[in-house]
Amino acid sequence: MSNILDKIIADKRREVELKKSIVPVSQLENAVLFSRTTTSLAGKLKASKSGIIAEHKRRSPSRAVINQALSVADVAAGYENAGVCGMSVLTDGKYFGGSLDDLLQARAATTLPLLRKEFIMDEYQLLEARAYGADVILLIAAVLTKEEIKFLSGFAKSLGLDVLLEVHNEEELRKSIMPGIDMLGVNNRNLKTFEVSINTSKQLSGIIPDEFVKVSESGISDPATIKDLQQYGYKGFLVGENFMKTEDPGRSAGAFITDILR
C-alpha cells in the first residue's frame, strides 16, 4: 500500500497524455458547460453551520467496494435535498471507479457546487473540469511542487473555479499557502499508509491562515467529530464512505446534518 500513490500518479500521467491526444483543448472549450457561471463552494461553507461536502465514491484502494449500485444522479439529488454545501465526485476510473461522465450526470441533477476529486497535475484536467460542470478542483500538495501549485491554482482561478488544496502535514502546508487557494483541506488519511487520524486536522489548524476556509477530510463518521473540529476553526467537512456505504446516501446525509445542528 505504501507505493499506491506513486502508482496512481504514474498511471494518471499516462492517462492525461492519452486524453490530450484524443480530445483537443478546443473541444473542451466549446462544451456547453464551459461558459456556465460557477458557484463558490468556499462561499457556501462560510455561510453554513454544518459545512458538509458529501462525496460520490464507488470504491477506493483502501476499500474494494463501497457502493456500486446507485446512480450518480440519484445520489446528487439526495445530497441536495439533505442540505449539504457541496458534492465531491471521484473521476478517477482505475482506482476509484469514477469518470468524467459521473461529473456530468451530477451536474444535470443538482445545482450544488461540484468538486472534481481527481489527481490533478496538468492544466488540461482543469479544462476538463470546467467542460464537465465542476465548480471546484482539488490540488494535492503531496504530488505537486510549490511552482506547480502556484501555476495550477492560478489557471483554475482564471477559469472561474474554486481551489481546494489538500495537505497531510506541516511541510506540505507551508509550501501551499498562496493567494490562488480558496480552501485548505487537511486530509486525515495518510496517502501512503491509508491510516486515518483526526488529530492531523487539529494539529495543523493553528498554522492555517484565517483567510483560507479550513476543510477537514477523511475519517469523519460522527457528528460529534464535526462539532469538535469546528472549535478548531474548520468550516468544511468532506464525508464520503460514511454516506456512500448506506443504501440511501442522501437520507444518511440528512440525518447526519440534523444531528450536527441539534
Model pLDDT for residues 143-180, shown as the tens digit of each residue: 999 999 999 999 999 999 999 999 999 999 999 999 99
Residue 20 annotated in active site: no
Residues 6 or more apart in contact with residue 16 via CB below 8 angstroms: 121, 122, 124, 125
> From the candidates 12, 48, 50, 57, which is the catalytic residue?
57
Q: Does the active-site annotation cover 88?
A: no
Rounded Cα gap, residues 242 and 229, in angstroms: 17
Active site residue 195: no
Q: Say yes or no to pLDDT of 106 above 70.
A: yes
Average pLDDT over the chain, rounded to an integer: 93
Side chain identity, residue 25 = V
- The active-site residue, picked from 67, 218, 241, 252, is 218
Give catalytic status of residue 166 as yes or no. yes
Select which of 80, 166, 172, 241 is catalytic.
166
2 pLDDT exceeds 60? no
**Residue 66's pLDDT band (cuts 50, 70, 90):** low
Q: Check residue 57 and give its pLDDT.
A: 83
pLDDT surpasses 70 at 1: no
Q: In this structure, are residues 118 and 91 in contact, taking their beta carbons and an 8 Å threshold?
A: yes
Q: Percent helix, strand, coil in the chain (nearest 5)?
A: 45, 15, 35
Clarify whether 218 is annotated catalytic.
yes
For residues 177-216, b (16+ Cβ closer than 10 Å) or e, as one string? Answer: beebbbbbbbbbbbbeebebebebbbebbeebeeebbbbb
176 within 8 A of 183, measured Cβ to Cβ: no
Identify whether 202 is a catalytic site residue. Answer: no
Concerning whether 55 is annotated as a catalytic residue, the answer is: yes
Of 50, 55, 176, 216, the catalytic one is 55
**Distance between alpha carbon 147 and the CA centroid of its chain, in Å?**
21
Model pTM greater than 0.85? yes
Average pLDDT over residues 193-220: 93
pLDDT per residue as tens digits for the range 221-236: 999 999 999 999 999 9
**Arithmetic mean of pLDDT, 233-256:** 94
Q: Which of 40, 44, 60, 117 is catalytic?
A: 117
What is the chain's length? Answer: 262
What value, to the nearest 5°, has the Cα angle with vertex 67 and ends 66 and 69? 160
